[in-house]
A and B are shown apart, each in its own frame.
Chain A
Amino acid sequence: MRYALYLGCAIPIKYPGFEAATRLVCERVGIELVDLPFSCCPPPTSMKLVHYDSWLALAARNLCLAEEAGLDLLTLCSGCVNTLKEANHILKQSDSKRRKVNRILEDHKHQFNGTIKVTHILDVLYQDSVVERLLKERVRDVPLRIGCHYGCHYFRPPKIMYPQELSDAESYVPVSMDHLLSIIGVEPVEYSRKFLCCGSPLGANMDQDAGYEITRQKLGHIRDRNIQALSVVCPSCFEQFDMGQIVLGRKTKEKEKIPTFYLTQLIGLALGLSSKDVGLDVHRVKAKKLLESIEVA
């Protein structure tokens, strides 16, 4: 299994620990990753809102690099997967948009042909063959009560992100992370408004306080279920929960903080990697005590 690894911006720059964990996990389960000179995706929360044509062209360039290497794109971030999946879909569907974009890209010797698929690390790990490998490679359980947060851009709009799941479902919600984590001994816990936004885009673009207010509400529902930690698949969601609890803590004086993990960090721990290996040491809300309580270090 070979993929072009699409890192995006936030992970390699802000949270290289996620990258390290992902590379180590992929190596262990037999997924080969190829690095290509990608640029910013660009995010569905910024460039797309301001200048759609630029958003589409830059996304197309990233897709072209993978096409030229003949590899499917593996993303690590909900924003990246949203942009690249949607752009891939639009450019395959619309002749006029594809022509327009190709006219611009041809000056740089790229041409969009629509030959590859875009996927996300969660979906790659959730494949049957990889799950089998994970079961074999697993050396310990991570028996925590964990709340999964998928991140809106990972699955919405379903007509683009998960069209195959849409047949009869009137509202589609994903379950893959809950299922995947349960195989490493995690107890996935349902909580109210599980599919509510983390608040990040609102904070980033307009109103930081309002964004954190959403985070605060969501954390309230999470606390109601005595959830010990969160699992996410997006660096923006991560930051909102990790940094967000520090910021919110100054106002709310809430002492109990809930650590957040990026998915591959949890999987890495189950494969025997150390906290340092998967980059937990730089998180603002520390998971050290929690991991010690279950004898995972």
Chain B
Amino acid sequence: MTIKIWKHFPREDLYECYQCARCTGSCPAMEVAPAYGPRETILKCLNLGHDKVVEDEKVWLCCTCNVCEDRCPQKIPISDLLVALRNSAARRGNIPTRLSMALELLAKTGRSMIVHQLDEMRAHHGLSPLPAAPVEELRDILKKTGRDEVIEF
């Protein structure tokens, strides 16, 4: 299933980009795992269409640190764009394994991590056990927001 991402992000905002590359220049992910950075992402969206971007697994190479948006002289809401693009990628099944595992855990336990002997560990620090999260309620909310259509467990 696909969604039109321009419903979620105003495409006109991208027209203001003049490709100065301050975004990619400040991107920590680009330094260590060359993908294509915000500048190229915007250019591809404009010139090739966003399909080309969301089909590539490199769209996930990002720290979500938002420094790109901080540096942007045109105040383009780059982080919103990247969120919209990745939502679209996930709907097409382009989603890193680690991430889908984390979300599965969240749906099952209401928390995004799990450890053995939690109660003992908390007791070591003088803390009472952590109450269980209301999993049924969360599952119901997730069902109604339509997440289950995107990721099946």
Q: Decide if A and B are genuine partners.
A: yes
* In the bound complex, CA of A200 to CA of B110 (Å): 21
Q: Check A53/B83 contact, CB under 8 A, given A12-B122, A202-B29, A213-B32.
A: no
A40 at the interface (CB under 8 A from B): yes
Across the interface, which residues of A come within 8 angstroms of B8, CB to CB? 52
- How many chain B residues sit at the interface, stated as a range, is 35 or more
In the complex, the answer to whether A48 meets B83 with C-beta atoms within 8 Å is yes
A39 at the interface (CB under 8 A from B): yes
With beta carbons under 8 angstroms apart, the residue of B62, B70, B151 that contacts A202 is B62
B40 at the interface (CB under 8 A from A): no
A92 at the interface (CB under 8 A from B): no
In the complex, the answer to whether A50 meets B71 with C-beta atoms within 8 Å is no
B86 at the interface (CB under 8 A from A): yes
A104 at the interface (CB under 8 A from B): yes
* In the bound complex, CA of A201 to CA of B60 (Å): 10
Residues 65-118 (chain B) with a chain A CB within 8 angstroms: 65-67, 69-71, 79, 82-84, 86-87, 90, 95-96, 98-100, 102-103, 106, 110-115, 118
Across the interface, which residues of B come within 8 angstroms of A57, CB to CB? 141-142, 144-145
In the complex, the answer to whether A17 meets B125 with C-beta atoms within 8 Å is yes
Taking beta carbons and an 8 Å cutoff, which residues of A are in contact with B? 7, 9-10, 12-14, 16-17, 19-20, 23, 37-40, 42-54, 56-58, 61, 104-105, 107-108, 152-153, 156-158, 171, 195-197, 199-202, 204-207, 210-211, 213-214, 217, 279, 282
Taking beta carbons and an 8 Å cutoff, which residues of B are in contact with A? 8, 28-29, 31-33, 60-67, 69-71, 79, 82-84, 86-87, 90, 95-96, 98-100, 102-103, 106, 110-115, 118, 121-122, 124-127, 130-131, 133-134, 137-138, 140-142, 144-147, 150-151
